[in-house]
Structure 1
Amino acid sequence: MAGYLSGDVRKVTTHRLTEMKQRGEKISMLTSYDYTMAQIVDGAGVDVILVGDSASNVMAGNVTTLPITIEQMIYHGKSVMRGVKRALVVVDMPFGTYQADAYDGVRNAIRIMKETHADALKLEGGEEIIDTVKKIIGAGMPVMGHLGLMPQSINKYGTYTVRAKEDAEAEKLIRDAHLLEEAGCFALVLEKIPAELAKRVASELTIPVIGIGAGGGVDGQVLVVTDMLGMTKGFSPKFLRRYADLHTVMTDAIGQYVSDVKSSDFPNESEQY
């Protein structure tokens, strides 16, 4: 097993991720949004922690990722960074911080990196944002790309269904993947696309390709931490594997606490000063 579980406490870097791909070692990636969860995820040996704009859904209860602000992403980024020693930490640039023009994107990227102390940034899109990606990387900030289903474009798609099933969209995705690598991206996320397409992209690129709902032929996997821990209910996409049922565990524990307080069982004599 990776990370602290095997005694490997070296800091994960973008270069180390490339080395992992070269030797065929799969990359593990999970989201985190706060200090406590980041400590747990990092301590378990996860290679990459994504401070995702999915915080908009998970932490704030919004229907989409669109409402989250740069200030909120910086808050979550700072919180996660305080809890991490080993993992590479990537912060999502939220919707509206890089779509207007490249210079706006660079300014916001600098702000996020300076204020969070994160290791890298993630942007959604291909050819349409390539100039922004180049300028951010040119300013010294590592960028992870994101293609396939792009939640920041949900109003354009109108649905969260699998992307790139048709030849034209698949061919554009392949072109965009190569453009992002050529622009200098250190890694690429592929979300909810056919497994064979994702496998082809991973085989054609020299940078790591990390999938979510993109099959097992890529270089690593990413999930939303609250989903894989079973903290959320009513969300069961085909690609999700739940490793625990924390929703039930936590509900039962809190219910027991309520019962103990109501019955005056808590606190008992040993729990008082």
Structure 2
Amino acid sequence: MAIVLGPNRYGKAETRLVRVHRDGDMHRLVDFTVGVALAGDLAATHLTGDNSGVLPTDTMKNTVYALAKQHGVDEPETFALLLARHFMKTQGRLTSARVSVESFGWDRLGPHSFRRRGEHTRTTAVTVTREATQVVSGVTGLVLLNTTASEFHGFVKDRYTTLPETTDRILATAVDARWRHLGDEADWGRSFQGAVDAMTGAFVNTYSYSLQQTLMAMGTMVLAGRPEIAEIRLALPNKHHYLVDLSPFGLDNDNEVFIAGDRPYGLIEGTVTRDDVPPADAQWYL
């Protein structure tokens, strides 16, 4: 039996980058966490300790800061493409460079004053190979809740089922979504906001009989409104809310007082795609 080295990559994780664009008295702020992962002809460092093909991860960190200074920072997709293409151009042994970005929003309070937004995080993952470029955008932590217009009944029951059927429940989730673009050029800011607005609109306007149905509606709305997006993968945790029994206190509870559950929780996952686009690697959204 032979023991061999399998697929591998290495890089610099979670480089914190804050870039201030000083346009006179009106400043602009960009706040990223950047990850770099490189793969290629790197077996020697694993097998013999030969580091002649290894770019230090500290250099990757420095490159993030240098390119941020030299080129400025705008949309996360644009910056991720810049970094990935830089590594592919300068490192001949690579077969792929993957750059991921978490982008944190700030609201302007004045010419040079800002307040950090906390409702969700924008994400980006760009992979550049010798043959192709793939751009995946996304959002995580987008918390949505409907106080009604949600049912859940008609499900499978066995000897261990205790969940009652309901025709009126709170439906809440924290959206984790990734969407793959058809190309590597777009108005990234407009595309991101359009996708988030489409998901939010579908959640608000869908009468839900299951969170799975809502997932499909959200994905469909994104693809219908954003022609630059090939497919979208959504992970929707069901943030359960349990009706409190107030009868010991002589009180009725007509879907008004709830316990917000923490864990465990249901997790609904699915991919919505166009049937006329080439399929991507099954792990494209990671």
TM-score (norm 2): 0.27
Higher strand share: 2
Q: Which has the higher contact order (CA 8 A, sep 6+)?
A: 1
